[in-house]
Amino acid sequence: MAESSEKNGGNLSNLWALLNLSSEGFVLCNKKGEIIYFNQKGADLIKKITGYSINSGDMFYFITPDYARDYFKEHFQKALGGISTETERIIINKNNESLFYAVKYIPVKDSEGRNSYVCISAKDITEEKHIKEALNLQKEISGKLSEFDTLDSALNYILDISIEKTGMDCGGIYLRNEVTDDFELIVYKGISDNFAENAGVAKKGSAKWKVIMNGITLSKQHWEYETNPDDTLLKENLKLVVVLPVKFRNNVLISINIGSHTLEYFTESSNELLNIIGREAGSAVYRIILENKLKQAKK
């Protein structure tokens, strides 16, 4: 924990005591932007974002990532002018992950009543954002899928939202044939017709069929198949493929297969969103299949 060499009476002493008790990360700077105090959470957050261990005397501007420096200067100057600001920021950490933070710039007066310091606080709200996004997504999908009465319309929607929410750029959905027990590619986006034709059916008992029937999400990265020049995934220039078998009442009904020509990793948050889509998709597909059977029975 760093302490300032600039002693400023009770104001800063009281502030430091509050900072140490806070659940947020704090950094206190003088008007030059020099760090004079920080709590442990502040040090931990900066380490997480930049990989740098801060010290008293560091210039905050030079620790700030390049893409955020203009933002820092703007809000730092506002705080020196007596204006507090609070915003949500997406910050890219040293592992190239997107993190959400609630960031505040708060003016702090010296013993003579002048705005001589700026307190910068940050709170990681990534998990809160993901939970909110997940709940909103579940509500959105549930409502939308209830409107569909044909498999084609439902499967097209499921594929579109799976690609959109996970940041992938292509995919297809396999539907289990109740007669042959094969999985057949019903809809696809962003892949060549030749690839779709070659991958059109997962025959019962085949390796692909067994992967789907296993019922477990599978991701495959390009280095797992690029040593085989005949691999269809390699020929399609796919960097990443994710397979989500979708069950309803323990029976696999469909398989949502999505891929990317650019991404190499499937993030945990994308996996969570895809699983939400899968859960809603399973019940919707089952409902439509059942309704279609009832319609056929009445004819």
**Which CATH number goes with the domain that contains 46?**
3.30.450.20
* CATH value at residue 142: 3.30.450.40
CA distances for 298 relative to 137, 231, 262, 291, angstroms:
36, 47, 49, 11
Burial 11-26 (b: 16+ CB within 10 A, else e): ebeebbeebeeeebbb
Same domain, 208 and 241: yes
Same domain, 69 and 184: no
pLDDT tens track for 129-152: 878 888 888 899 999 999 999 999
Decide if 4 is inside a domain.
no
Decide if 72 is inside a domain.
yes
Decide if 262 is inside a domain.
yes
Same domain, 260 and 147: yes
pLDDT of 200 over the 50 cut: yes
pLDDT tens track for 274-294: 999 999 999 999 999 999 888
**Tell me, what's the pLDDT at 297?**
83
Query: Over the Cα atoms of the chain, what is R_g?
Result: 27
- Domain of residue 17 covers 9-124
Chain Cα centroid distance, residue 155? 23
Same domain, 274 and 208: yes
Same domain, 110 and 219: no
- The residue out of 79, 108, 124 marking a domain boundary is 124
**Tell me, what's the pLDDT at 11?**
57
Decide if 65 is inside a domain.
yes
Same domain, 168 and 245: yes
Number of domains in the chain: 2
Higher pLDDT, 96 or 116: 116
Region of poorest pLDDT, from 113-117, 144-148, 229-233: 229-233
Decide if 2 is inside a domain.
no
Same domain, 155 and 214: yes
**Tell me, what's the pLDDT at 19?**
62
- The residue out of 82, 103, 124 marking a domain boundary is 124
Contact 163, 171 (CB under 8 A): yes
Same domain, 119 and 132: no
- The residue out of 78, 99, 124 marking a domain boundary is 124
- Strand segments (E) across 52-192: 85-92, 98-109, 115-124, 170-176, 183-189
What would the two tokens of residue 132 be?
């909110």
What would the two tokens of residue 115 be?
């705005």
